[in-house]
Amino acid sequence: MQPAESTTRELTVDEAIDLAIALQRGQQFDEAGAIFECVLEAFPNHPRALHYSGVLAHQQARHADAIGRIERSLALESDQADWHNNLGIAQQAGGRVDAAIASYRRAIALDPRHANAWSNLGVVLRASGELDEAERAYRTAIDLNPDHIDAYTNLGILLGNLKRTEEAVACYCKVVTLRPKHKDARKLLALAHAMLGEVGKATTIFEDWLADEPGDPIARHMLAACTGREVPARASDAFVETTFDGFAASFESKLARLSYRAPALVRAMIEDAGVSAGRRLDVLDAGCGTGLCGPLLAPYARRLVGVDLSDGMLAQAREKHVYDALLKMELTAYLRAHPDSFDAIVSADALCYFGDLADVFAAMAASLRDHGLVVFTLEHAVEPPPGAGYRLQLHGRYSHARAYVEDRLRRAGLRPVIAGADLRLEAGAPVPGLVVRAARR
């Protein structure tokens, strides 16, 4: 009896790249990356392998590598509209807004009907403050593809910020019609109704969402924000993780167009305390996010540790190359596990996801060494609810009364200095904040 003839054969280069792209689309990034690297080892200038390995690098928040690989692929094949669009996405994520605009415009020049490039162009034009041009770009994308969910969503955000709330509602309604369980559109539609004073409609949206997806952390938290019922003492881990994983890649570009000042305000408060930049301190960046505070804290730090709940944000922070350790962990739990460990604890806009501050302040005090400092920002509740020191706002963050913050710090054994400052712009208006420094007694 003759043995069966083997049907196994080696993949061609194109087949290997197709397999890697399929794995990439299935979010099997390590497996896809291994195939791309094998191809590029044998064929260093293969355009498709370079391009899609660059897209993979973007998906893994390796922005410089992503841009470099995609640019190399376009040097070999410059007439690919999709590839210029992908380069724009990578440049945008890397904070290179002007370059992204040029890439999207090049994609459109090659293919004027490229709806995704028009929609993406709208995003970066809005980030550059060119609001009329951004609106035109979104509307062009919608004309080309009347079912373009991202264009409708982003147009709604733009219109909402321009106080054209009824038009924004129409955009979000279109998205929900096209995709009834679209989380962002549901949330944005509810908030738009709330801004119009239609709290009942907003409540119904969140209640319907919870009926579809019981326990969804976004819907549950936002329902509490909308109604004031069953307000949690702090945002759940699931809410924070889901929220920030969802927009980690675009987080810094969004903050840039909001004139975000919290990291600079924190740094100024440290300087005001007379702390010298001699790299002598063990510093914790509490709720480090994408690491915006990292470069500002590095001159003070012998050791700089960042803690956050979002894998996506931590991936961005690693790109700063300033942290000695980056850990995924809930802040209060981390502090309790590290008593007497830090000379300074810094938190820019992380404590606004806590309502009751007593536990986290006590944990900070215990984690500080003698004469250590904690420096942080909060949103200021100018008119908190009667009998309460904080309020869960419609946007899902907490704001705090100054007297409440001072009282809780003193109870934790910390001596506070509190200043008022605008933290950023929101819908064109400044967001009043508190910048706080407190010393361990």
Global pTM reads 0.79
Same domain, 221 and 298: no
Q: Per the domain annotation, does 135 fall within a domain?
A: no
Residue 211 pLDDT level (bands cut at 50, 70, 90):
very high
Residues 6+ apart with CB under 8 A from 109: none
- Kindly state whether residues 183 and 270 are assigned to the same domain: no
Residues 6+ apart with CB under 8 A from 115: 140, 141, 144, 145, 148, 151
Q: What is the pLDDT of residues 334-375, one digit of tens each?
A: 999 999 999 999 999 999 999 999 999 999 999 999 999 999
Does a structural domain hold residue 121?
A: no
Residue 166, domain CATH: 1.25.40.10
Clarify whether residues 380 and 270 are in a common domain: yes
Count of structural domains within the chain? 2
Question: The CATH number of the domain where 278 resides is what?
Answer: 3.40.50.150
If one counts every other C-beta atom within 10 angstroms of the C-beta of residue 224, the result is: 17
Residues 356 and 393 in one domain: yes
Instruction: Dump pLDDT digits (tens) for 44-76.
Output: 999 999 999 999 999 988 889 999 999 999 999
In a domain, 416, yes or no: yes
Q: Which amino acid is at 147?
A: D
Other C-beta atoms closer than 10 Å to the C-beta of 26 total 10
pLDDT at 262: 87
The domain of 306 spans 258-440
Q: What is the distance between the alpha carbons of residues 41 and 314, in angstroms, rounded to a whole number?
A: 30
Q: Are 49 and 81 in contact (CB under 8 A)?
A: no
Domain end among 212, 230, 248: 230
Average pLDDT, the chain: 91
DSSP for residue 324: S
Is residue 89 in some structural domain? no
Closest CA relative to residue 371, chosen from 300, 262, 275: 275
**Of 230, 247, 275, at which residue does a domain stop?**
230
